[in-house]
Structure 1
C-alpha cells in the first residue's frame, strides 16, 4: 500500500511538471542602452513566478512561464510586440516597462485584442484614466496626479521653495506631469514661474534651466529618464555654486544606471527623486525573501545594491496578484482574468496589504500615501530621506 501511495505521489508530480504552462508576456525597453528598469521588472516577475510554481502553480498545477519581448523604447515596436504576444495560446496578460507613451499609444490595440495590460512602472494618468470600457489596463505603480502634489509639498518642506520651474519631455508623460503640477500649485500656495519642453535626445538642457532660474525659480522639478537627467546634473554641476538650484526629480532617472552616468557631478548637486518602495532597512519577511532571491538568482550583494528597486517590487506584487486572478477565473480566458482582477480578495504583498487591489472603478492598486523621496549616494544607492 505504501508503495502505491509513493508511486501515485511521484506520478502526480510528473503530471504537474508536464502540465501545459500558462504564459505571461513582458514587453519592455531591454534594448535601451542605459536601461535597468526592464531588467528590474523581469527580475521581480521571475522571483514571483518561482514562488508561485514552487507552491503548485496555477489552475491546479500548471506552471507560469514568462515570454519576453524587447520594444527598444519605441512605441511602434511595442504595439507590434503586443499583437504578436496576443497570438500566444494561454498567454493571459502582458506586463509593460517604464515608458508611459508606449502604454498610452497601445490603449486602442489592448482593448481591440481584449488582453490585460499590467503596469508595474509607467505613471502617466491616462494609462488607467481612459474611456475604454471595460478597461483592460491594471497598474501597480504611482500616478502623476499623486506625484505633482508630492513635488510641491517636498519643495516647500525640504527647500522652503514656493517658486518652481519645470523641465518636461515633449511626450504624453510630460503632459501628464504638467497638468498634475498646475493643479497642485493652485491649491498649495506655490507658483510655477515657467516650464520648458525638451525632446528625447536633446544634447543640452542648461539654457532652459538658466531661463527658469532667471525667472525666479527656487527649485527645479525635473521630469526625465536617466539620459536627460544625467545631462542636466552634469551641466548644473559645472555652474557656479550660487547658480545650482535644488533639483526634484521624477523616478524615470532610476530606470538606468544614473549614478554612474553622472559620476562626481551628482555630489555637486542637491538632487532628490520620488520613490514608492525601498528594500533598505526593510525587515519584513517579504522584503527579506526577495532580497535573498536577488542574491541567489542575480548575484546582487545586498538590498542597497538593487538597481531600479521599484521595478522589482512592483512587478513582484503584480505577478502574485495576476496569479490569484488566474486561479479565481479558473481559466486562461483573458476576459475572465480581467474580471477576476477586479474582484480579488485581500493580499499581503511586498509593498502593502492590498485590501481590494482593484475594483470595477479603480484599476490602480497603490495610493498616494506610498510616495517618499530618496537621494543617491556616491555608490549609486537610493537612500530614503527620513
Structure 2
C-alpha cells in the first residue's frame, strides 16, 4: 500500500471517529435539537413541536392552540406534530419564556400584557382609544403595522407569528361612562400598568388600592366581567373597547431554523388562519356573556363614535408621552396605516409632509425629536386655521439608517397626493444617497439635522434640498479651532463613510493651513465594538485632543473608553453623538468629561422667549406639568422652524404644487423662527439658512442636559 493511500484511509477513519464523538458529546450535553426533533422520525422530516401556554391566556386562545395543532397536522400531512403544555410544566411563565428564547422549548403563547414588560412596543395595545373600532385594529394587525410589532419579538430571540384575539377592555362603574366628564369624581383601582395610570390620571380620577371597597370604576374584558358578575349586578358596563388584550404566538428563532422553508410557511399560514378564528370565536363568546349580564340586570351601554373621538382628543398627550417607550417606528407605521385606511374621509384636502428618518435603532432618539418638532409645528399651524384653509398632517417612515429604505420611502412619499415636501433624517450618508432621487422626483427636501456639505451644495439647478442645520463646510473648521484651543496634538476619529471622508478633507485642510498635522487618523466602522487599537494609538502618540465624528452607536462607547483609559484627553465632537439614548451611568461619565460639541442655539435658556414658548407647547403636547424641565435637541427646533417656513412657502405659492412650493422657499423674504430671525432664509444660490456665525459650543451635564459651554470657549 502506498504512503498516499495509507494517509487517505487515516483521514477517513479520523472523520468517522470525530463524527461519532460529536454525536456522543451532543447527547451528553442534552443538545436541545434532541428535545425538539424526534430522533426516531428525523429521517422522514417529522418534527415534534411543543407549545407552552402562559397562565393568563384566555379560554378562546387556549382552544385556538388545539385547533392549531390539528391544522398543522393536516397541512403538513402529519409532518408537524404540536403538543400543548401549560407553563407550570416549565416552572412558570418567566421560566417558559427563557426556555423558548434559548431554543429549549419550541413555541409560546403569551399575553401582550405579560410581554410588554420586556418588549415596550407592545404597550401600544394599552394606549386608550387608539383605534376607531376593533375591526380597524384587526385590519391594522394584518398589515405592515402588525408585522412591525411581530418583529419586535426578535428582542427575545423569538419570531412572532400572529396576534390572537383575547378581547378588548371596557369600563365598569356605578354609572355609565360615556363622556370624559363622567370620570370627574370617580375612585379607581390603581393599576401597575403605567399607561393605564396615565390614562385615568388624565381624566382626573382618584386612585384607591385594589382592596379598597370604595372603588367605583375599573377596567375588565367581558370575560373578566363575567367572572365577577356575582357582585356586579348593579354595575354599569360601558362598552368602550378602549384597549386591546392580545396574545402573541411565537416560535423560538433557533427552533425555526430547524424547519424547512415549506414547514415555516405552513406554520405561518396556520397561525394566521387561527388568528381569524379567534376573532370570530371571541366575539361570539362575548355576545353570550352580554346576554347573561343583561339577564342579571346589569346596564350595558355602547360608547358612541363621537364620544370616542372626544376621549381620543383629551387623551392624546398619553399617546405622545409614551411614544418614546413604544417606539417612534411603531407609532409612525400606525399613523400611516390610519391615514391610508382609517381616516380616508377626514384626510381629504389635507396637506401632507413626509419624514424619512431613522426611527428605530441607534439614532431613534433623534428621529423621535424630529417627528415631535414637525408635529408640534403642524399642531400650531392647524390651531390657527391651517394653510390655504387646509389642515396639515405628518406622514413619517423609518429608514432604519439604510439608504435603500430611504429611497423606497421617497418613492412612497412622491406617490401621495398633496404631499408638498419631505423632511430628511439624521444620517448624512443616507441623505446623500437620496439627493439624486429627490431631484428626479422634483420633491423638495428639508434638512433639520444632517450636516454633510454636499447635501445642499449638490450642483443641481433648480436645487430641491434646503437646510436649517449645521453645514460641515463650517462645522469642520469650527471644531478644529475649538480643538486647537485645547492642544496641538490632535487625533481625528471619524466614521468610515462618505460623511467621514468629506469631513476629513475639510478639517485636515484647515489644520494644515495652521501648521498642524493630525497625530492620529482613525476610521471607525459601523457596528464596531472594540477600540483597543484606537486607545493604544492615542496613548503612543500623546494625543491631547480628539475630534470625534460618528453616530451614537460608536461615539458613546468610544467616549466611555476614553473616560476609562485616557481621562485627560479632551474631546471635540460632532453633534451626532447626541442622537441616541445614553444610560444614566453613561450620562454621568460623559457629562464629567472635557467634551464640547457644536450647537446652533439653546432654546432651553430662560431668556430665550421664542424657545420658552415652543417648550411650553411641547409640555402641553406631552401632558407634562407646566414647570417641568424639558430637554430637547436642537434638531427638534430646526424641524419646528422648517415646517413653519414650509407653511409660509405654501401660502406664498397659493398652491400645493411642489415646483411652486420649491420656488416659494427661495423667495421667502423673512422668517421669525425659534432659532433666529432669518432674512431671508434661502435664495437661489444659498440653501443653508445658517452659517458659522450661528455656531456655539455646547457641553453635556452629568444629568444629560445640553447647556452652553461658556463664552470664553467660543
TM-score of the alignment, normalized to the shorter chain, above 0.5? yes
The answer to whether 1:352 aligns with 2:676 is: yes
| Matched residue, 1:291 | 615
Aligned to 1:247: 571
**Residues 97 and 121, structure 1, Cα contact 8 Å, conserved in 2:** yes
Change beyond 3 A, Cα 1:44–1:263: closer
2:490 is matched with 164
Q: Aligned to 1:67, what secondary structure does the other structure show?
A: strand
The answer to whether structure 1 residue 38 and structure 2 residue 363 are counterparts is no
Residue in 2 that maps onto 1:94: 422
How much does 1:325 deviate?
0.7
Residue 457 (structure 2) pairs with residue 129 (structure 1): yes
Cα distance in 2 between the residues matched to 1:202 and 1:174: 15
1:326 has 2:326 as partner:
no
Give yes or no for contact 2:448–2:635 (8 Å, CA) kept in 1. yes
Contact in 1 for aligned 2:604/2:611 (Cα 8 Å): no
CA RMSD of aligned residues (A): 1.9
What is the match of residue 321 of structure 2?
A: none
Q: Alpha-carbon deviation of 1:320?
A: 0.5
TM-aligned CA deviation for residue 266 of structure 1: 1.8
Larger Rg: 2
Aligned position for 1:9: none
User: TM-score, length-normalised on structure 2?
Assistant: 0.49
Shift of 1:373: 1.5
Q: 2 CA distance for matches of 1:166 and 1:299?
A: 43
Q: Distance in 2 between matches of 1:285 and 1:378?
A: 26
What stretches of structure 1 of length at least 5 have no aligned partner? Answer: 1-16
1:266 aligns with 2:590: yes
Q: Deviations over 1:60-111 (max 9, x none)?
A: x111111111111111001100101100000010001111111100111111
1:1-386, aligned counterparts within 5 Å? Answer: 20-33=349-362, 35-59=364-388, 61-157=389-485, 159=486, 161-239=487-565, 241=567, 244-258=568-582, 260=584, 262-267=586-591, 269-299=593-623, 305-307=630-632, 309-386=633-710
Q: Structure 2 unaligned runs (5+)?
A: 1-345
Cα contact 1:233–1:262 (8 A) shared by 2: no
How far 1:306 sits from its partner (Å)? 1.9
| Partner SS state of residue 72, structure 1 | coil
- State which drifts further: 178-187 or 114-123: 178-187
Q: Match of 1:305, SS?
A: coil
Cα pair distance change 1:299/1:44, threshold 3 Å: same
Equivalent-residue separation in structure 2 for 1:296 and 1:196 (angstroms): 45
**For the structure 1 residues 366 and 303, does the alpha-carbon distance in structure 2 shift closer, same or farther, using more than 3 Å as the test?**
farther
Shift of 1:194: 2.6
**Given the superposition, is the C-alpha separation of residues 263 and 346 from structure 1 closer, same or farther in structure 2, using an over 3 Å criterion?**
closer
Q: Compared with structure 1, are the counterparts of its residues 343 and 31 closer, same or farther at alpha carbon in structure 2 (3 Å cutoff)?
A: same
Count, aligned residues? 364
**Contact between 2:600 and 2:634, CA under 8 Å: does it hold in 1?**
yes
Query: Is 1:47–1:316's contact at 8 Å kept on the other side of the alignment?
Result: yes
2:394 is paired with a residue whose SS is strand
TM-score, with structure 1 as normaliser: 0.89
C-alpha contact 2:356 2:409 (8 A) present in aligned 1 = yes
Q: Deviations over 1:304-351 (max 9, x none)?
A: 5324x1111100110000111111111111111111111111111111
Kindly state the Cα deviation for residue 212 of structure 1 after the two structures are TM-superposed.
3.5
Tell me the secondary structure at the aligned position of residue 258 of structure 1.
Answer: coil
Contact 1:91 1:332 (C-alpha < 8 Å) held by counterparts: yes
Matched residue, 1:3: none
